[in-house]
Amino acid sequence: MPTVDSLGDLQLQTALQLLKQAGREVVIDAAPGSTPWLQAVVDALCELSSRDALTGLANRRQFELIIAREIDRVARAGEPALVLMADIDHFKVVNDTHGHPAGDQVLKAVAAALQDCVRPMDTVARYGGEEFAIILPNCPPAFGQTVCERIRAKVERRVVNVAPGTDVQVTISIGGAYAPQWVRSSATLWVERADRQLYRAKTEGRNRACLEQAAVYQVSAEEKGMLFGTSQFQDIE
């Protein structure tokens, strides 16, 4: 029968194997098995669990944690914050024409382009499939369209080599919505509003950005009900 120590060793070896497969081997100037070394392993595993394996961006789970924190901050501090939902146009055509490995290359290229366009304080996440989400804290409405255009143009200009002699260019559509200041909203409501703008960008011809006007946003009945509620972030523990 395995002992507690042997089970612990097995779990540690499994963790190290996972990190190796993900290209995130622990490199630290400390003896294996020491407290600093074990802490580095734990930190690497936490980082791995919060990242999308293909693109290296924040994954959906990490996005949901960060947007909950941002909603709480906006409700308390009143600073403007923008969430963007971006979708690669006609991505199915890339997969159908060039194969899924080519699609993966396009996803990685678009992810890198998005990351190049934001500040260190911003969060870019792979939301699912060919859809990405971006959280921009402290982003005044006057700069929202500028940021979106920078992202849209960056992706449009990027040429992706998917096979010898074969290059692909794609575009993205973007929808954005501001968090209502001094109001305790929810991640679901905020993302749904950005998604509506993304749908509008798609229906108006793609390769464009549509932003909800912050000045005309109406607080919903659900948000009014949460106005004096507890912090959402406190619930995620």
Q: What CA–CA distance (Å, rounded) separates 31 from 114?
A: 38
**Could you tell me if 62 and 163 are in contact, meaning their C-beta atoms sit under 8 angstroms apart?**
no
* Marked catalytic residue, from 25, 70, 79, 130: 130
The single-letter code of the amino acid at 10 is L
Q: What angle, rounded to 10 degrees, do the helices at 100-116 and 141-157 form? A: 140
Q: Rounded to the nearest 5°, which phi and psi values hold at 7?
A: -65, -40
Query: Does the annotation mark 64 as catalytic?
Result: no
Query: What tokens were used for 79?
Result: 């600073």
Neighbouring C-beta atoms of residue 30, cutoff 10 Å: 13
Q: What CA–CA distance (Å, rounded) separates 5 from 24?
A: 25
Neighbouring C-beta atoms of residue 213, cutoff 10 Å: 10
Of the candidates 65, 51, 82, 67, the residue with the CA atom closest to the CA atom of residue 193: 82
H helix or E strand, kind and range, residue 86: strand 81-88
State the catalytic residues.
130
